[in-house]
Chain A
Amino acid sequence: AQTVTQSQPEMSVQEAETVTLSCTYDTSESDYYLFWYKQPPSRQMILVIRQEAYKQQNATENRFSVNFQKAAKSFSLKISDSQLGDAAMYFCAYRSTGTASKLTFGTGTRLQVTL
Chain B
Amino acid sequence: KAGVTQTPRYLIKTRGQQVTLSCSPISGHRSVSWYQQTPGQGLQFLFEYFSETQRNKGNFPGRFSGRQFSNSRSEMNVSTLELGDSALYLCASSLTGFNTEAFFGQGTRLTVV
Query: Closest approach, in angstroms, between the C-beta of B34 and any C-beta of chain A?
Result: 11
Across the interface, name the chain A residue whose C-beta is closest to B55. A100
Asked whether B92 lies within 8 Å of A43 as measured between CB atoms, the reply is: no
A44 within 8 A of B: yes
Size category, B interface: 20 to 34
A16 within 8 A of B: no
Asked whether A103 lies within 8 Å of B98 as measured between CB atoms, the reply is: no
* Number of inter-chain CB pairs below 8 Å: 62
Size category, A interface: 20 to 34
Query: What per-residue 1/0 map shows which CB atoms of B69-112 lie under 8 Å from chain A?
Result: 00000000000000000001010101001111111111101000
- Chain A residues numbered 67-115 whose CB sits less than 8 Å from any CB in chain B: 91, 97-108
- Chain A residues in 8 Å Cβ range of B28: none
A46 within 8 A of B: yes
Query: Closest approach, in angstroms, between the C-beta of B95 and any C-beta of chain A?
Result: 10
A62 within 8 A of B: no
- Chain B residues in 8 Å Cβ range of A45: 90, 92, 104
A102 to B99 alpha-carbon distance, docked (Å): 11
A47 within 8 A of B: yes
- Chain A residues in 8 Å Cβ range of B107: 43-44
A100-B106 CB under 8 A given contacts A45-B90, A45-B92, A91-B43: no
Give 9 A-B contacts (CB < 8 Å), ordered by A residue.
Answer: A43-B88, A44-B107, A97-B99, A100-B55, A101-B102, A103-B35, A103-B92, A105-B35, A105-B43
Counting from the closest, the 10 A-B pairs by CB-CB distance are: A101-B97, A100-B56, A45-B104, A105-B43, A100-B55, A44-B106, A102-B45, A43-B107, A107-B42, A100-B48
